[in-house]
Amino acid sequence: MSFFKKIFGSSKINDQPKQTNQDDILETYKSIPWMTDLRLDNIKICLNSGFKPATSLPTEFERKIRPKIEIAKRLNAIKAIVLWLMVPENELSSERILNFVSTNGLDLFLADNEKGILNSSRNDEQLRNAIGWKFENAWSLAWYFGYNTPDITGEMMTGEQMQEILINFTCPLEGKIGDWLETKETISEEELIKKEDLFYCLHNAVRSAQLGRQTVPPSFDPIGNGGVIHERRQSLTWMLSNGIEWDETDLST
């Protein structure tokens, strides 16, 4: 699976904590006037994992969760394009995939750079090599419907993990997403907000590292592993950006 360099939001970098002792660094965060318990919990996770977000990050945002049907349709739109490129025609007909998309209105939940995929060759190697980023988007979306918590190591998902999501955490190809949703429990809005805030902090540390700061673990690749954090964060933030298109999701840090 190939990596390609992506553009990661604004280039503005906030101040980073200067202490090297973790307890001292944590005290710096605690002293911030606008610090919240939610953010402090996430900062502890970041520091314990080797990430150092800026001390000047805001803690209050206007977040509004989207309807769960929209989250489900975005996840299943990703399913459609992954199946299109990763499963041969002789094992899964194009007609079945296109009927699934049409029946459930999934074309409205494809990003601009994804809309042409369902008109492309199913053997397009360039598109196939790039589709792995959609796995990362799918992980956060599937987590909302009960899949494993998206990890923060920056390691890309395996094919086996994506297969589990496609089989157990998405709508069957012959089904209707509205009916499928009736059988699914979702995580609470509070859990989603906290997880999104964690990836916001991680993304800030990643972006700082991309500009030369020592804000991520030594073995963490700011571009390759950082891209994974970026993609997982986009899904989380999009879920809390009701009324905002996928491509317009605010990923500034």
- Please state, in angstroms and rounded to a whole number, the distance separating the CA atoms of residues 137 and 81: 13
Region label for 101, one of left (φ > 0), alpha (ψ between -120 and 50) or beta (otherwise): alpha
- How is residue 77 annotated by DSSP? H
* Paired strand residues for 241: 64
Asked whether the beta carbons of 104 and 73 are under 8 A apart, the reply is yes
User: How high is the pLDDT of residue 20?
Assistant: 58
One-letter amino acid of 20: T
pLDDT tens series, the chain, 253 aa: 333 333 333 334 345 555 457 778 888 898 999 999 999 999 999 999 999 999 999 999 888 999 999 999 999 999 999 999 999 999 999 999 999 999 999 999 999 889 999 999 999 999 999 898 999 999 999 999 999 999 999 999 998 999 999 999 999 999 999 999 999 999 999 999 999 999 999 999 999 999 999 999 999 999 999 999 999 999 999 999 999 999 999 999 8
Structure-token pair, residue 208: 């700082």
For 100, phi then psi, to 5°, come to: -60, -45
- Please state, in angstroms and rounded to a whole number, the distance separating the CA atoms of residues 91 and 85: 12
Q: Structural domain boundaries of the chain?
A: 22-64+186-248, 68-181
Reported pTM: 0.90
**Which 3 state secondary structure label does DSSP give 62?**
coil
